[in-house]
Amino acid sequence: MNDPAAIDFWFDFSSPYGYLMSERIDELAARHGRKVRWHPVLLGVIFQATDSRPPVAGGGSKAAYMLNDFRRSARFMGIPYNPPSRFPLPTQNAARAYYWLHGQDCALARRFAHAVYRAFFVADRDISAPDSVLEIAAGLGVDREALAAALQSPEIKARLKDECDRALAAGVFGSPHVLIDGEAFFGADRLPQIERWLESGGF
C-alpha cells in the first residue's frame, strides 16, 4: 500500500452493503482522480477475530430491520437487488479466484468481482460452490481448469489469509470498509461522506 492516493476497499462477497458499494466506488473515485484497490476478505475470519456477529444473526427485530434495509438501500441507490435465497454464504472460493486473477490481470479480476456480486445479489446463484465460481469466471474467458487448480493451491490460500490479516491490522471489522488517506469509512451509506472527503481533501 505505497500509493497514498489510492483508496482501499475491503469487502466480503456475501455482504449486501459491500455489493452496493462495489457498484459505485470506482466511478466515484475516478471522478476525483483516484484509483481503488479491491480486497475481498472473509467476514467469518473478521468476526471471529473481533468477537462480532453477522448483523442478521439470531433473527429478531434487528435482523428483520437489516433485511429490509438491504432492499431499501438498493432501491434508494438505484441498484438491482434480489434477496438471495441462501444468506450469508461462505465466499473463500470467490475470494481466492479474485486474487489469482488479480495476479494476472487487474481489470479482469475487477470484472470477475462484479460478476460474482451480481450473480449472488441479482441472479440468486450459490457463489459458495466452486462450480459456480468457475462458471462465472469461464463466462469472462478464464481458463476453467487452470482456475480450478489455483483454488486449491497453497499460494492462493495463503494470499487470502494474508489479506484477512492485513484487513484486521488496518482496523477492518466489517464490510464494506473503505480507507482513504488513513480515514476509515464503514458502510455503503458513507458514500456521500466519501465524496465530500474526496472533493475537499478531508474534513
Q: Each residue of 28-54: pLDDT tens digit?
A: 999 999 999 999 999 999 999 998 887
User: What is the average pLDDT score of the chain?
Assistant: 95
Query: Averaged over 86-105, what is the pLDDT?
Result: 96
According to the model, what pLDDT value does residue 57 have? 76
The β-bridge partners of 185 are: 178
pTM of the model: 0.94
According to the model, what pLDDT value does residue 83 have? 95
Number of domains the chain is built from: 1
Is there a domain that residue 162 lies in?
yes
What are the backbone angles phi and psi of residue 114, rounded to the nearest 5°? -60, -40
Q: Tens digit of pLDDT for each residue in 107-139? A: 999 999 999 999 999 999 999 999 999 999 999
Inter-axis angle of helices 154-169 and 43-50, nearest 10: 40
Is there a domain that residue 2 lies in?
no
Task: Classify 52 as helix, strand or coil.
Answer: coil
Question: Which CATH number fits the domain that encloses residue 94?
Answer: 3.40.30.10
According to the model, what pLDDT value does residue 58 have? 74
Q: Domain residues for 12?
A: 7-200
Q: Tens digit of pLDDT for each residue in 143-192? A: 999 999 999 999 999 999 999 999 999 999 999 999 999 999 999 999 99
Is there a domain that residue 1 lies in?
no
Residue 104 to residue 194: CA distance in whole angstroms: 30
